[in-house]
Chain A
Amino acid sequence: MSAASTSTAPTSSPTSSEALPTAEQHGIKEHSDGRFGFVPVQTRSARFKSFDVADFPAVTGREAVWKLSPVAKFTDLTGGVLDGSAYDIDATPHADVDVSWVDRTDARIGTAGAPEERAAANAWSSFETALAITVGGEEAKEITLTRANLGSAPRAAHTIIEARPFSQAVVILQNTGDARLSENIEIIVGESANLTVVTVQEWNADAVQLANHFATIGRDARLKHVVVSLGGGIVRVNPSVHLAGQGSDTELFGLYFADAGQHLEQQVYVNHDAPNSRSRVTYKGALQGAGARTVWIGDVLIGRSAPGTDSYEQNRNLVLTEGTRADSIPNLEIETGDILGAGHASATGRFDDEQLFYLQSRGIGEIEARRLVVRGFLSEIVQHIGSKPLEERLQGAIEDELRGTEGN
C-alpha cells in the first residue's frame, strides 16, 4: 500500500509503485528536510536564457528541456515561421480589469522571465502584439478569457497578466478549438496582490500547444497558479515562478488527464529568491488508453537569498489502463542552510484493487467504484481552483473523460 516518497537525491527515472497515495502523501503534511548532499551539475537558475531564437541551436530532442517531448511532431514551432498577429479573444468585462493589445515596447515585457528553449524564443521573436490583462481594484473578482479560434497554422502569442499592488483577482484562461501554438505568458504580481491564474486546456484532439509561464511575485504577494490539461494532442505548459519579494507565496496546482495518444507535459520551476517565501506544488494526473503519456518535472531552487523558505512539491499519477507512461521527476536544490522546510514526493501507481474490492463489497458496482476513486483522486486539485462555476464544470469534464474509459 505504500507509494514511493522520495526524500533523497532525485534521479530522472520515472518512479512507480503499486498503490495509490496514502494519507501522508495525499495531503501536504510531511516536511522532510531536504538538506542532503546533492550537488547538481548545473544550478537551475544558471540555465541559458535568451529572447532571440537565433541564440538557440536547432532542437535535437536530447536537450534537458526536450528529452521527454515528441519534438519531431512540432518542428514548425521550434524552428519554423510563426504568425505573431492578434487573434480573437473573448473576455468577460470588468471595470477594474483592462484587457487590451499592446506593443512589443510595453515596459512590462521581459520583466518576468526569459525563454530557456527554442520554441519559447521563437514565439518571443515572432509576436507582433501582446495581450495585456491588467488587474486593479482591491475587491475579489473573476474574469475569463477564451481563445477558441487560433486555427491550425503555426502561431506565436505573448500575454502579460499584471496584478497591480494590493489588487485581487481570479483570471481564467480558457482554451478550446484548434491550435499549433508556441507562447509565453508573463505574470507580474505586485506587492501584496493576490492573483489566481487558471489555464484550462480543452483543445481539439490534434492541437499542439507549447506554453511557458513566467511569474514574478512581489513582496507579500501571492500567486495561485492552476494548470488543467484535458484536451489536445500535445500540451506542454511550463510554469516558472520567481519568488522575488520578501514573504512572497505561491501555490501551483496541476490536473491532467491523458487519454490514448495524448502527450501532456508540465515542467514546473520555483525559484525561492527572497526571505520567508513559501511554495507548494501539487500536480495530479490520470492516464488511460494506449500511448497516454504524461511528464511532470518539478524543479525547486532555494537560493542563498532565501532564508526561512518553506517549500513542498509533489506529483501523483494514477494509471488506469495498460500501455501508458508517466514520468515524474522532482528536483530540489538547496543553497542555504537556513530554511523552514523543504520536501518533495512523487508517486505513480495503478488503480488499487483493494480499494475497488472495498467499494464493491459495499454494493457499489465496478464502474461506479472506479469513478468514485478517480474523481476523489483528482478532486483535491479541483477543490483548490477557487471558482465554484469552473470547479463544477471541470468535475463534469472529468466525468466525461472517465466515461471515455468505459467506451474503450
Chain B
Amino acid sequence: MSVLEIKDLHVSVETDQGTKQILRGVDLTINEGEIHAIMGPNGSGKSTLAYTIAGHPKYHVDSGSILLDGAEVLTMTVDERARAGLFLAMQYPVEIPGVTVTNFLRTAKTAIDGEAPAIRTWIKDVRESMAKLRMDKSFAERNVNEGFSGGEKKRNEILQLELLKPRFAVLDETDSGLDVDALKIVSEGVNRAKENTGLGLLLITHYTRILRYIKPDFVHVFVDGRIAEQGGPELADRLEDEGYDRFLAETPVG
C-alpha cells in the first residue's frame, strides 16, 4: 500500500521584494485510495504546495520532507517524480506549440512506463478516454493546449491522468472555470481513474462545488501556508455555509 507523506514543509519563493515565505510547516499524509480535499482562500499557498510536490524550480524548499513510500521526493528531478508515480493537474496548463496531443501523450506514456505502449491498445485507450471526456477526435492532432478553452485544457489534464495512471495525483483547481456539465464530465473522469487504479488524490479547490461529484475522505482547511483545521466531508459543508472568515480573522493574510 502506497503512501505519500508531507512533513513539516517550509517553502519560499524569490520575488522582486526579496524572499517570500509561503508554506509554513505543512503536514499531510495521503494513503493510496484516499481522497483529500484542500480548501483555502486565494493566496494561501495551495498551488505552491502542488508545485512543490511536482518539483517546480521556482519554489525553494527551506525545510521538511516529502516521502513517497519512504523515498525522498525532494531530491528527485521533475521527470523522476512523474516516473515515480506523481501527477499534477495544473491550475493553468501550459501551451506547447508544434507538439501534438498524440505525440505528447505517447512520449509521456513511453517515458513513464519505460517502454513504448503497444500501439493498438494504446490508440484504443486514447480514443476511449477522449470520448468519455467528450473531447472531439480532432484534439488528438492539435498542439498541446494551444488555443484550447479553459475547460478543454482541464479535460486534457484529466485525459493525461487517466492514461498515465499515477499512484498519487494533485488536482489544482481542476474545477475552476468549468460550467456544470464540464464539471460533471471532469469529475467522472477523476472518479474513473480512481476506480481503475486506486490512486490517492489531493484535490485542491476554492469552492465546495466539485465535492458534490468527487467525495473526499478528508478535508483540510489551508490558511496562510499551513493546515488550519482538518476533518471529514462535513467540514466542507461547514465552509460552504460559513466561508473562510473564521480562519482569516485568526490569521491575517500577508
Contacts and interface: CB of A to CB of B under 8 A. Distances in A.
Interface of A: 1, 20-23, 26, 352-355, 357-366, 368-369, 372-373, 375-380
Contact of A364 (B81, B94, B111, B146): B111
Contacts of B77: 360, 366
Given A26-B146, A373-B96, 8 more contacts: A22-B95, A23-B95, A357-B54, A357-B78, A360-B82, A364-B107, A368-B107, A377-B97
B82 A379 contact: no
A379 B55 CA distance: 30
Interface of B: 54-57, 77-79, 81-83, 87-88, 90, 93-99, 103-104, 107-108, 111-112, 143, 146-147, 160, 164
A19 B242 CA distance: 42
A373 B231 CA distance: 44
B97 A358 contact: no
A354 B94 contact: yes
Contact of B98 (A357, A363, A368, A376): A376
Given A23-B146, A357-B57, A357-B78, A362 B96 contact: no
A353 B111 CA distance: 19
Contact of A360 (B78, B90, B143): B78
A364 B99 contact: no
* Residue from B54, B98, B107 having most chain A Cβ neighbours under 10 A: B98
A21 B97 contact: yes
A354 B97 CA distance: 13
A26 B97 contact: yes
Contacts of A26: 97-98, 143, 146
A353 B51 CA distance: 14
A365 B90 contact: no
A363 B94 contact: no
Contacts of A362: 79, 82, 104, 108, 111-112, 160, 164
A376 B78 contact: no
Chain B contact residues: over half helix, strand or loop, or mixed? Answer: mixed
Contact of B99 (A354, A366, A372): A372
A23 B145 CA distance: 9
Contacts of B143: 26, 376
16 contacts: A22-B95, A22-B97, A23-B95, A26-B98, A26-B146, A354-B94, A357-B57, A360-B82, A361-B87, A362-B108, A363-B108, A364-B79, A366-B77, A366-B79, A373-B96, A375-B98
Q: Which of A22, A354, A360 has the most CB of B within 10 A?
A: A360
Contact of B112 (A363, A375, A378, A380): A363
The interface centre, meaning the residue of A21, A363, A368, A378 with most chain B CB atoms within 10 A of its CB, is A363
Contacts of B56: 357
Contact of B97 (A353, A364, A376): A376
Contact of A373 (B90, B98, B112): B98
Nearest to A21: B97
Q: Considering the complex of A and B, which 8 residue pairs feature the smallest CB-CB distances, nearest first?
A: A376-B98, A363-B82, A360-B78, A362-B108, A363-B111, A363-B112, A358-B94, A376-B99
A366 B94 CA distance: 16
Given A26-B146, A363-B79, A358 B90 contact: yes
A102 B242 CA distance: 89
Contacts of B98: 26, 373, 375-380
Nearest to B82: A363
B97 A361 contact: no
Contacts of A358: 90, 93-94, 96
B146 A363 contact: no
A81 B164 CA distance: 65
Contacts of B90: 358, 361
A372 B97 CA distance: 10
Contact of A376 (B79, B82, B88, B96): B96
Nearest to A383: B98
A2 to B, nearest CB: 12
B57 A353 contact: yes
A357 B59 CA distance: 12
Contacts of A21: 97
A313 to B, nearest CB: 18
A382 to B, nearest CB: 10
A238 B158 CA distance: 48
Contacts of B107: 364, 368, 372
A240 B95 CA distance: 34
Contacts of A354: 94
Nearest to A356: B78
Nearest to B148: A23
A359 B111 CA distance: 11
Nearest to A369: B79
A361 B90 CA distance: 10
B106 to A, nearest CB: 11
A28 to B, nearest CB: 13
A20 B97 contact: yes
Contacts of A377: 97-98
A357 B97 contact: no
Nearest to B100: A376
Contact of A359 (B88, B96, B112, B147): B96
Contacts of B94: 352, 354-355, 357-358
Nearest to B86: A361
B78 A361 contact: yes
A365 B97 contact: no
A76 to B, nearest CB: 40
A11 to B, nearest CB: 26
Contacts of A355: 94-96
A354 B108 CA distance: 16
